[in-house]
């Protein structure tokens, strides 16, 4: 497992460390992890940066702890190198996916807010519909007189008007006087 620059421990050393850790010797697991940690960090740092390399190294060490009972000590060097390679490739894929999902903030400054655009469009649509509805309404009479009868416009306060005129009904039910004189069979109509 010796690589240029001695990035990884020698294969014979790694075999010995894995066997001792699998045997449950005191401090053997800590020794294995302490020996592998700098190698993982150095392997991950060029592609991830120092902080992310530290995190990736911790994740790789946890993976070794979980799989330690199943690791073949004679093949430990290949397992460690393959696991490190897979972790680095997964991290590269995650960064590439994140780069496709997000864009620089400068590009977002020129984009109009869809909420504001919808609000403005909705406001103009509502205004047009309201104007069309108002135009379709029949024109109202110029005064408060109803057609077909003669009565005075009702004052603003119905109870005060009822008191002044002596009517009990107030403005709720105005009694209209027909235009022609009343005959005995005619009954006052309501407007």
Q: Report pLDDT digits (tens) over 143-187.
A: 555 555 555 555 555 555 555 555 555 445 555 555 555 555 555
Evaluate whether 149 touches 178 at the Cβ level (below 8 Å): yes
* 149 phi/psi in degrees, rounded to 5: -145, 165
Query: How would you class 112 by CB atoms within 10 Å of its CB: exposed for 0-12, middle for 13-18, buried for 19 or more?
Result: exposed
What ranges do the domains of the chain cover? 11-101
Query: What's the fold here for domain 11-101?
Result: Rna Polymerase Sigma Factor; Chain: A (1.10.1740)
Evaluate whether 174 touches 154 at the Cβ level (below 8 Å): yes
Strand 189-190, strand 175-176: pairing: antiparallel
The closest alpha carbon to 149, from 120, 121, 186, belongs to 186
Q: Report pLDDT digits (tens) over 46-97.
A: 988 899 999 999 999 999 999 999 999 999 999 999 999 999 999 899 888 9
Instruction: Read off the pTM.
Output: 0.51
């Amino acid at each position: 497992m010796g690589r240029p620059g001695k990035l990884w421990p020698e294969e014979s050393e790694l075999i010995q460390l894995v066997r001792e850790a699998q045997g449950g010797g005191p401090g053997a697991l800590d020794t294995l992890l302490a020996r592998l940690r700098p190698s993982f960090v150095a392997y991950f740092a060029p592609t991830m940066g120092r902080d992310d390399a530290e995190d990736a190294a911790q994740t790789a060490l946890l993976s070794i702890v979980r799989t330690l009972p199943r690791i073949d000590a004679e093949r430990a060097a290949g397992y460690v190198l393959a696991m490190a390679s897979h972790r680095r490739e997964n991290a590269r894929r995650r960064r590439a996916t994140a780069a496709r999902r997000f864009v620089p903030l400068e590009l977002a400054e020129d984009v109009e807010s869809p909420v504001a655009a919808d609000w403005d469009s909705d406001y103009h649509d509502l205004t047009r519909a309201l104007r069309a509805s108002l135009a379709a309404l029949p024109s109202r009479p110029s005064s408060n007189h109803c057609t077909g009868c003669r009565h005075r416009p009702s004052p603003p306060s119905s109870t005060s008007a009822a008191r002044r005129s002596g009517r009990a009904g107030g403005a709720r039910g105005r009694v209209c006087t027909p235009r022609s004189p009343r005959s005995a069979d005619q009954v006052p109509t309501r407007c």
